[in-house]
């Protein structure tokens, strides 16, 4: 039987499969379907300082090979996550937890990471820098190396937990952003977040989503994710959590060969809520077929 264990910043995972933030709630929604402790880890719903209802509806649009969402970081806020969601999650999930933190200013990121740093249940902080910077005209933090580095340094100043910066693919050079985060102290990189997409209702002649545009995810973005992971693996010396269009065990192997140490499964959870256990079950079989004895041996294998 192949060894499918992996590791992120010294934290050992039984397997590399992690439900992506925003597609798995706080775990309870899926815990009645299967034992979520079969997962390697779990990135909970993106959390901000204040509670957020999210963007106006409609905020979901179907696409061929994917979906567009403009949910708008709907969440109960950091205080309620710490007082209610985390204790409830720990009752049903006994493995490393990844906290996904979002913000609209450097101070908000810093505040939330300082708060979550005190929680023993959380072992990794994943910082989503695809959020619009309200102090810079709405430009996402993750589109500028300087802004990405500023958030990274601010977060690292208040936490001793591993920090993984979640990068937006909507940039000219993903490697410049990743290198800036590494230089500012990031312990790892998560990529990719959603691409920017749009659908138009041709009967109404209006955008499907109230916010007009949203994050495009699903199988169609997988090749883009693989390309960016490959590029970032060559550019930095810190671990990568890969994501973007993953729906099969074959996708997981491909991402790890590109350079990922673990892989998040996102939109496919909404299509098939059993996709993660299916991938975990298939991985050892696929490894045997491919002659892989130890999954960590293939990390970055596609690089010459």
* For residue 87, pLDDT beyond 60: yes
The CATH number of the structural domain formed by 6-54+73-194+218-298 is 3.20.20.70
- Say which of 131, 181, 276, 287 is annotated catalytic: 131
Question: Tens of pLDDT along 12-28?
Answer: 999 999 999 999 999 99
> Residue 181 catalytic?
no
Residues 6 or more apart in contact with residue 146 via CB below 8 angstroms? 180
Q: How confident is the model at residue 304 (pLDDT cuts 50, 70, 90)?
A: confident
Instruction: Say what the pLDDT of residue 54 is.
Output: 86
pLDDT more than 90, % of the chain: 91
Q: What does the pLDDT read at residue 1?
A: 84
How many C-beta neighbours within 10 Å does residue 31 have?
17
Q: Which of 176, 175, 223 has the alpha carbon at shortest distance from 195?
A: 223
Determine the average pLDDT of the residues in 57-65: 92
CA dihedral 158, 93, 299, 290 (to 10 degrees): 180
pLDDT tens for residues 32-54? 999 999 999 999 999 999 999 98
The pLDDT score that the predictor gives to residue 135 is 64
Is a pLDDT exceeding 90 seen at residue 130?
A: no
In this predicted model, what pLDDT tens digit does every residue of 137-191 receive, in sequence order?
A: 556 888 999 999 999 999 999 999 999 999 999 999 999 999 999 999 999 999 9
Q: With a cut of 60, say whether residue 126 has pLDDT above it.
A: yes
* pLDDT value of position 285: 97
* Contact partners, residue 110, CB within 8 Å, separation at least 6: 154, 155, 157, 158
- In angstroms, the CA 200 to CA 220 distance is 18
Q: What is the pLDDT of residue 137?
A: 53
């Amino acid at each position: 039987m192949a060894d499918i264990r992996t590791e992120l910043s010294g934290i050992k995972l039984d397997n590399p499969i992690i439900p992506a933030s925003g597609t798995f709630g706080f775990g309870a929604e899926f815990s009645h379907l299967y034992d979520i402790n079969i997962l390697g880890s779990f990135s909970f719903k993106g959390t901000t300082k204040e509670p957020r209802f999210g963007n106006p509806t409609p905020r979901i649009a179907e696409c061929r090979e994917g979906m567009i969402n403009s949910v708008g970081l709907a969440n109960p806020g950091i205080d309620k996550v710490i007082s209610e969601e985390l204790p409830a999650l720990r009752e049903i999930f006994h493995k490393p937890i990844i906290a996904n933190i979002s913000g609209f200013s450097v101070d908000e990121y810093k505040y939330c990471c300082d708060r979550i740093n005190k929680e023993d249940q959380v072992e990794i902080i994943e910082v989503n820098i695809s959020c619009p910077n309200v102090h810079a005209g709405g430009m996402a933090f993750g589109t500028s190396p300087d802004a990405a580095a500023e958030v990274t340094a601010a977060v690292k100043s208040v936490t001793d937990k591993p920090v993984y910066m979640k990068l937006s693919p909507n940039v000219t050079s993903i490697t410049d952003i990743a290198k800036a985060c590494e230089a500012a102290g990031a312990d790892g990189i998560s990529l990719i977040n959603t691409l920017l997409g749009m659908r138009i209702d041709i009967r109404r002649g209006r955008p499907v989503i109230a916010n007009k545009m949203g994050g495009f995810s699903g199988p169609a973005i997988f090749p883009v994710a693989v390309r960016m992971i490959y590029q970032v693996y060559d550019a930095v010396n810190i671990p990568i959590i890969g994501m973007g269009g993953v729906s099969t065990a074959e996708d997981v192997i491909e991402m790890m060969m590109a350079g990922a140490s673990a892989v998040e499964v996102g939109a496919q959870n909404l299509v098939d809520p059993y996709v993660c256990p299916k991938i975990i079950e298939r991985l050892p079989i696929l490894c045997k077929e491919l002659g892989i004895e130890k999954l960590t041996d293939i990390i970055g294998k596609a690089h010459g």
